[in-house]
Amino acid sequence: MSGLALTQAPSPSVPMRFLASAPAWGVVAGAWLAWHGETALASRWSPPTVVLVHLVALGVLGNAMLGALTQFLPVAVMSPFDHRRLFPLLHAAFNVGLMLFAYGMSGLNMVALHLAGCLVAGSLLVFAILAARALAKGAGTRWLRAAIGIALAGLVATAVLGVAAVLTLGGELRIALDRVVDTHAAFGTVGWTLALIVAVGSVTMPMLQGARALPPRGVAAWLTSVLVGLVAGGIARMQGDDAWLAMVVAAAVWVFALASLWTQLRARHRRNHALIAGWATGASVLAVAAALLLWWPQDDPLRAVRIGVLALGIGLPMLVAAMLLEIAAFLAWIQLRRDVPRGRQVPGVGRLMPERAKRRVFGAHVVASAVLATAVWTQEGQAVAGVALALAHAATLITLCHCHRRMRRHAAELAPD
């Protein structure tokens, strides 16, 4: 834990509000897939499919990313937030906006969709402003603050393009919808989610996995090239050329996957094996999705759905679920240190979140991923895949609850008589 500014950590309830919402939305996404069955994986333009995508992208990945940042910036980047009292409001606005989006998209209710766009994009933009201010005033290393800043730029672009997609759907903007949606998806998955995973992982991978540290210049070069490439590719896509944007996304994912796997293979002291397995599996699935993005036939009507399932349904959630358990255990440990009087030794993080519990969660996600991939390739068993997906995220949520319960039990045992 050396090098972390634990005294600047927010109350663990602040990031946990977001982190606990992530698997909860995963359960909702699984239930949605089970309810709608084949219509939820039939076409990228099917309303149930669009809802499912955003239940995962915003509900699972979005909440996890925001929760991680609220903890990571003050503790690892020495950039504490101002106006922390706004976080409960931002969490509520973001998640209520997602509910409205699901309702509005399922029935193509434009009033609900416009309100959802205001709530989701507004909360994300306010969060990005608060984070940018924290980074500007922070005392952490300059390259790491710049790396987080690039990911925040991707978040802002994603939010703006999401609003543009809603306005295009409603007829307020005269833009080809597929071009806006493709650019929005590229910035959301790579420019925001993957960029933040890389920035955070450059610090946490050596600490949690025992992997070799990525060179700061290499991380900065990757992030800068991704942002520049996405801007250029996005402009080209808006003009009708989709090849450049696809190449940028694929190249960014491959570099991430190869670097992740290489540093893990060269690790001197491996630890947290469930985290390593989840990270390696997620990176490998993302690499396969990137390959299909370039080489899968364009005339296949299920091309986008299959690639999306691999990236958004399996790869990124596998990475996030593995990291989420580690962050939650760390938060529980911080809370325990605060609750227990000085001079008393508190249990380590590993006792609050045992390795066997993390392995069970990883196994549940592997099973759900296999069932989901089979369903989208065979176009059969979508309801079963939904149940498996819901159970996997439920396992994550239950494990988080058990960790909190262990923390409370140890706090009671170590309290003064």
The CATH code of the domain that includes 164 is 1.20.210.10
- Supply the pLDDT for residue 205: 81
Task: Supply the pTM of this predicted model.
Answer: 0.94
> For residue 301, what pLDDT is reported?
87
Q: How far apart are CA 248 and CA 224, in angstroms?
A: 12
* The amino acid at 10: P
Report in angstroms the alpha-carbon separations of 345 from 7, 75, 268, 329: 18, 22, 29, 17
Query: Hey, how many other C-beta atoms are within 10 angstroms of the C-beta on 327?
Result: 22
Q: Is residue 1 part of a domain?
A: no
Q: Identify whether 354 is part of a domain.
A: yes
Q: Which two tokens stand for residue 276?
A: 């390593």
170 domain residue, yes or no: yes
pLDDT, position 3: 53
Q: What does the pLDDT read at residue 76? A: 82
Residue 417 covered by a domain: no
Query: Which of the 8 DSSP states describes residue 166?
Result: H
Under-70 pLDDT residues of the chain: 1-7, 210, 267-271, 343, 416-417
Taking the C-alpha atoms of residue 94 and residue 18, their distance in angstroms, rounded to an integer, is 10
pLDDT digits (tens, 9 = 90+) for 105-135: 999 999 999 999 999 999 999 999 999 999 9
Which pLDDT score, from 0 to 100, does residue 4 have? 60
Instruction: Give the model's pLDDT for residue 2.
Output: 45
Answer yes or no: are the C-beta atoms of 362 and 278 closer than 8 Å: yes
The first and second tokens of residue 286, run together, are 């993302």
Range of the domain at 63: 6-408
- Rounded Cα distance between 302 and 58, Å, is 22
413 lies in some domain = no
Quickly count: other Cβ atoms within 10 Å of residue 348's Cβ.
Answer: 10
Has residue 276 been placed in a domain?
yes
pLDDT tens per residue across span 278-325: 999 999 999 999 999 999 988 888 999 999 999 999 999 999 998 999
Q: Is residue 12 part of a domain?
A: yes
Q: Report how far residue 373's alpha carbon sits from residue 302's, in angstroms, rounded to the nearest whole number.
A: 13
- 61 contacts: CB under 8 Å, gap ≥ 6: 22, 193, 312, 316, 317, 320
Please tell me the distance from the alpha carbon of residue 207 to that of residue 247, in angstroms, as a whole number. 32
**What is the pLDDT at residue 269?**
66
In a domain, 416, yes or no: no
Give the total number of structural domains in the chain.
Answer: 1
